[in-house]
Structure 1
Amino acid sequence: MIPKYRKQFNQEFSQEKYEQFKQILKEKSGIDAAFRISESPMFLSMDFKNKLMDASESIIDQIKALPEDTLEKAVPQNCKVPNDTKQPHFFTIDFGICKNENGEIEPQLIELQAFPSLYAFQKTFEDTFCDVYPFLNDIRNKMPKEQFEVYMKDLIIGKENPENVILLEIYPEKQKTAIDFVLTEKLLGIKTVCLTKVKKEGKKLYYDNNGKMTEIKRIYNRVIFDELDRIPDLQVEFDFRDEIDAEWVTHPNWFFKISKFLLPMLEHQYVPKSYFLHEFPEGENLDNFVLKPLFSFAGSGVNLNPTREITDAIEDKENYILQRKVNYEPVFEDINGEFSKAEIRLLYIWRDQDDRPILLENLGRMTKAAMVNVDFNKKDAIWIGSSNAFFVD
């Protein structure tokens, strides 16, 4: 979308530089990424960024204005965790990069979450693009790396000793996001702990810290609570619904509160109309909508072409939405003259003392497939996979 920078990047690009790029990421983290890394960043205009900010600020205002009991309805009874917080610690918003009926490029809201994304990885990702392509330093994120680190430590560690703070995941070594866990450990000086390794005595939680049983006082939670039921023969001492002497970052209830559950309640020119499946109006054409389960992750369960037979067969219709389709526009030209589509995720943090969340980074996802999530990319294409956006005046 920014011809000057796209042309320079494409001229400087080589397969050797791409391999160098991945090698630097591996050296910084110690492991390979388990998902595809796009060869290219995304270059977006400040006008497009202003549209993103306008939509995001409106969405934040609308969420803040919702009654507390409205948000509470999103949390399934069997997933309610005690000691909820007044606001989430993380807030992410996904926008498709689309073309409107006037031919203008604009963002369209895809979904939003109050769940941690790849914060540590994306900052390292941006740095690595600048390492390999130094001209990108002129247009990089204006927030210094030191300020990013201060924000993350303040949010996740707070006033605790890092040894009393853990990143909690289930079988972390098997997760596709493992590279982010490692980079988070390096950034914050904390340990990643599997849920199955957490010990419980009364209301206190402990983990084995190099042979020493150490109390857990803050939990940087990366476990999707409702997915635990799908793991056969899971043996744990600690249930999320237990009363514990530890603080959640972010509290698990917010995974449900800030989710696709909110989409039918939001209004903005960059927010496609959405309906709960059981409230879908007779006058709307199903062909114009995408079917999405409320609490799926990484694109699972999404149906791009739902039919009446499919929707009628769903029993728990209140747990699905229909969202108006948007037109992702292929605007990112690769070295072969082909074009990729993309989404951009804005990565906010929301500290307890702040009235509004703070934007720290962004995450890009590029594709030449029908679905933008990296799991749905064609294997033989380029300019696909995880990326990062640079904004240009």
Structure 2
Amino acid sequence: MIPAKRQKYNQQFTEEKYKNFLEKLQDGYCEIPFRVAETPIFIPKALKAKLIAAGEEIISLIKQPDFKELTKNSIPKNWNVPNENEQPHFLTFDFGICKNEAGELTPMLIEMQGFPSLYGFQSHLANSFRQVFEIDNSVNHFLNDFDEKQYIQLLKDVILGNHQPSEVALMDVDAPNQKTAIDFFVTQKMLGIKILALEDIKKIGNQLFYEENGKQIQLKRIYNRLIFDEVADNTEIFKNSFDPREELDVEWVTHPNWFYRISKYTMPFLNSEFVPETRFLNQIESIPADLENYVLKPLFSFAGMGVIIDVTKNDIINIKDPENWILQRKVTYEPVVEALDGGVKAEIRMMYLWPDNGEPQLCINLARLSRGKMIGVRYNADFDWVGGTVGFMED
């Protein structure tokens, strides 16, 4: 999208460099089970400005005094966690890169989350691209004038709060074996916090502890990476540890309820040139005649699971819980990234950190490339120049 950058990158790209890049990326951490794309995305000023403006519109909604009332029905009753705080600590907004009626590149919102993403890994990924492929400083993966030192400091402030690193842990069900484990290890190196599987944590009274060198250490703040959707059918796992839905003497970063409040559920409340028409299925008075222009999405799913791309009238009629679905106008991605053998579609995730008693700050980004029907891994299994990457934005 910045022609000179793209041309230079493609001319000096070799498979050997890409192999060296992957080795550098994994060195000292772990093998990456997801596909990392062969290229970053080079984002021009005009598109960067639109991405920033789109994010600010969404944040305006989230900061409305009635936002919690607006989203109270988003949280499933059996997954409502007590002691919710007043704000999420993380915001991530996914935008497909499209063309508007004037033929200009523009972002269109695909998904949003009040849940952490690869905040550690993306910085490491960008640095690795820079070093192996000699990307100069006229483009930046950080936003809002952040540099790496300032970014890591803000990440520390958000995740540690007022606690010592030993009192804070990144938690997931089986953390070291998750697909995103490399992000966990990079984050641990950055912040000095523990990585704990759910079963490593024990409840005594209403407090949580983990064991180290034969000593019980109180866990005072959890950097939560556990998605309840993943364990909804297996709540037995809590018996050997603790149930997050109990009253506990622990701080959450971010509190699990925000995963639901800021999600596909929020999209019908947005009215913007950067947001496709989105409606709750139970609020649709008549089924659109042009269903080929819509996609049907379950509210409570992750990684694209359950999404119906080629919607039929019967699909809609057969849904038994329409209050848990949205019907969204399809977004047409533009193949904006020039690979060695043609255009590739792109999605940009704008990533914010929101410290306690502070304001949301746009810091860094994530990008994904696709040649399939959707961005997800299973739609791109047989392609190259696809997968996770990062955007380098024109200053």
TM-score, structure 1 normalization: 0.96
1:367 pairs with 2:366: no
How far did 1:151 drift?
0.4
Match for residue 171 of structure 2?
168
In the alignment, structure 1 residue 318 sits paired with structure 2 residue 323:
yes
Question: Structure 1 residue 251 and structure 2 residue 255: aligned?
Answer: yes
Structure 2 length as normaliser, TM-score?
Answer: 0.95
Does 1:75 pair with 2:65? no
Code of the aligned partner of 1:93: F
Contact in 2 for aligned 1:34/1:179 (Cα 8 Å) = no
Q: Give how far 1:203 is off.
A: 0.8
Aligned to 2:220: 217
> Aligned match of 2:295 in 272, 290, 294?
290
Question: What fraction of aligned residue pairs are identical, expressed as a percent?
Answer: 45
Counterpart CA distance in 2 for 1:231 and 1:283 is: 36
Query: Between Structure 1 and Structure 2, how many residues are aligned?
Result: 389
> Quick check: 1:242 aligned with 2:246?
yes
| Partner Cα separation in structure 1 for residue 302 and residue 13 of structure 2 | 33
**Aligned twin of 1:348:** 352
Checking the alignment, whether the CA contact within 8 Å between 2:229 and 2:302 is kept in structure 1 is: no
SS of the aligned residue for 2:388 comes to strand
Residue 150 (structure 1) aligned with residue 153 (structure 2): yes
Aligned pair in 2 of structure 1 residues 125, 208: CA closer, same or farther (>3 Å)?
Answer: same
Q: Is the 8 A contact 1:172 1:178 kept in 2?
A: yes
CA distance in 1, matches of 2:300, 2:90: 17
For 1:391, the equivalent position in structure 2 comes to 393
Shift of 1:352: 1.5
User: Counterpart in 2 of 1:262?
Assistant: 266
For residue 326 of structure 2, what is the amino acid of its counterpart?
Answer: I
Secondary structure, in 3 states, of the residue corresponding to 1:24?
helix
1:331 is aligned to 2:333: no
Q: Take 1:207 and 1:376, find their aligned partners in 2: how far apart are those partners?
A: 40
Q: Which letter does structure 2 place at the counterpart of 1:159?
A: N
Which sections of structure 2, spanning at least 5 residues, go unmatched?
none
Which segment is superposed worse, 115-124 or 192-201?
192-201
Distance of 1:203 and 1:36 partners within structure 2: 41
Tell me the distance in 2 between the aligned counterparts of 1:85 and 1:341: 37
Write the distance in 2 (CA, Å) between the matches of 1:263 and 1:309: 24
Moved over 4 A (4+): none
Task: Structure 1 unaligned segments of length 5 or more: list them.
Answer: none
1:226 Cα deviation after fit: 3.5
Q: State the superposition RMSD in angstroms.
A: 1.4
Measure the CA separation in 2 of the matches of 1:24 and 1:375: 25
Contact 2:229 2:301 in 1 (8 A): no
Alpha-carbon shift at residue 343 of structure 1 (Å) = 0.5
Please, which moves more after superposition, 278-287 or 84-93?
A: 278-287
Alignment match, 2:31: 32
